[in-house]
Amino acid sequence: MKNWIAGSLALATAGTGLASGAAAEELTLQLKWVTQAQFAGYYVAEAKGFYDDAGLDVTIKAGGPDIAPEQVIAAGGADVITTWMAAALAARERGVPLVNIAQPFKTGGLQLTCLKSSGIESPEDFPGHTLGVWFFGNEYPFYAWMASLGLATDGSEGGVTVIKQAFSADPLIQGQADCISTMTYNEYGQVLDAGISEDELVNFNYLDMGFGMLEDGLYVLEDKLEDPAFADEMARFVAASMKGWKYAEENPDEAAEIIIEFDETGAQTLEHQQYMMGQVAKLTAGSNGALDPADYDQTVATLLSAVSEDNPAITKQPEGAYTMAITDVALD
């Protein structure tokens, strides 16, 4: 598929170009979560006119707790989505043929944050403790890790007790759990804002533990890529988006201000978005948007070794789940 797309895309690009006065092509991007610096590159690309320069009229749709990007694109509500690879691969196995076309996030921010006062300083200290875990596809690294440690997750003796954590840091702050799931750029900052110092915490990054998953990639439906015109649009979209990401990395305060301007809820604060942008920039740094197959392989290995009765991971090796054809052209 890769060579066919790349060849057709080259012809489409050569044939269409960006003629002066040509109408911009409409694209809809569905985000995984709410408007925040996690998606700064796209908002910056829109605000700075990078999409306009690429001949694209991009509508950015914010996500939320009741929005599953995989379902949105399957229903025709978006042309391209951001989501974690775990969710994308699970959806693909269940009949939604998602394909990763670009990977702006080179590394991941998911970690398990624990209070040292609970007696936890290493994974060997987990037994007997209560751990907060995000579900809805975010639990895969946790269960893969626990399986590798030989730890039961049902609260039985010698294992750990799992609580389904909401997307906040409250269980740790309020003493309901000894460890919780955090993102380096969001909930970890909430813990610090609550007055708990870094010296009182220990963090276990899933990538460092060998159970990382690719986060916040760009995905489209496989059959759409058979249309050279659509593939051409995606190449221009990825190129403009990566320009937005690099601008955000180099101008974090301005990027945070742009996020605030796009936040229609008024829930975000400039100070928190500045913190988030500083942390997110560490995750996108070093990425030109092209997927590293080795990172993909680690994600797949993590998912295949995960055990979750409530939300089972993939059961077989995926095929055709990513293509380098879009970034090959976008980054040329």
- pLDDT, one tens digit per residue, over 130-166 is 999 998 778 889 998 999 999 999 999 999 999 999 9
Claim to verify: residue 159 and residue 290 sit in the same structural domain: no
Our count of domains for the chain comes to 2
CATH code of the domain in which 150 resides? 3.40.190.10
Question: What's residue 305's pLDDT?
Answer: 87
Claim to verify: residue 260 and residue 279 sit in the same structural domain: yes
Question: What's residue 137's pLDDT?
Answer: 76
Report, as an integer, the average pLDDT of 287-294.
96
pLDDT tier at 329 (50, 70, 90 boundaries)?
very high
Residue 33 lies in a domain: yes
- Domain coverage including residue 71: 2-105+215-330
**Nearest alpha carbon to residue 99 among 229, 226, 232:** 226
Lowest mean pLDDT among 52-56, 202-206, 276-280, 307-311: 307-311
Q: How many angstroms separate the most distant Cα atoms in the chain?
A: 70
Question: What's residue 93's pLDDT?
Answer: 94
Report, as an integer, the average pLDDT of 18-41.
87
Contacts of residue 236, defined as CB under 8 A and 6 or more positions apart, other chains included, come to: 54, 55, 56, 330
Question: What's residue 11's pLDDT?
Answer: 36
- Per the CB < 8 A criterion, the answer to whether 263 and 78 are in contact is no
Burial 223-251 (b: 16+ CB within 10 A, else e): ebbeebebbbbbbbbbbbbbbbbbbbbeb
pLDDT tier at 10 (50, 70, 90 boundaries)?
very low
Q: What is the mean pLDDT of the chain?
A: 92
Question: What's residue 60's pLDDT?
Answer: 98
pLDDT > 50? residue 195: yes
Claim to verify: residue 16 and residue 84 sit in the same structural domain: yes
Report, as an integer, the average pLDDT of 302-309.
80
pLDDT > 70? residue 3: no
Claim to verify: residue 89 and residue 220 sit in the same structural domain: yes
Burial 143-159 (b: 16+ CB within 10 A, else e): bbbbbeeebebeeeeeb
pLDDT > 60? residue 21: no
In this predicted model, which residue has the larger pLDDT, 20 or 130?
130
Report, as an integer, the average pLDDT of 313-327.
94
Out of 205, 238, 255, a domain closes at 205
- pLDDT, one tens digit per residue, over 224-254 is 999 999 999 999 999 999 999 999 999 999 9
Out of 205, 223, 240, a domain closes at 205
Other C-beta atoms closer than 10 Å to the C-beta of 285 total: 13
Claim to verify: residue 319 and residue 229 sit in the same structural domain: yes
pLDDT tier at 9 (50, 70, 90 boundaries)?
low
Question: What's residue 8's pLDDT?
Answer: 46
Question: What's residue 165's pLDDT?
Answer: 96
Q: Which residues pair with 82 in a beta bridge?
A: 218
- pLDDT, one tens digit per residue, over 74-98 is 999 999 999 999 999 999 999 999 9
**Nearest alpha carbon to residue 38 among 238, 187, 235, 193:** 187
Question: For the chain, what percent of residues have pLDDT higher than 90?
Answer: 83
Out of 176, 205, 234, a domain closes at 205
- pLDDT, one tens digit per residue, over 197-226 is 999 999 999 988 989 889 999 999 999 999
- The pTM is what? 0.90
Claim to verify: residue 236 and residue 97 sit in the same structural domain: yes
Q: What is the CA radius of gyration of the chain?
A: 20
Question: What's residue 206's pLDDT?
Answer: 93
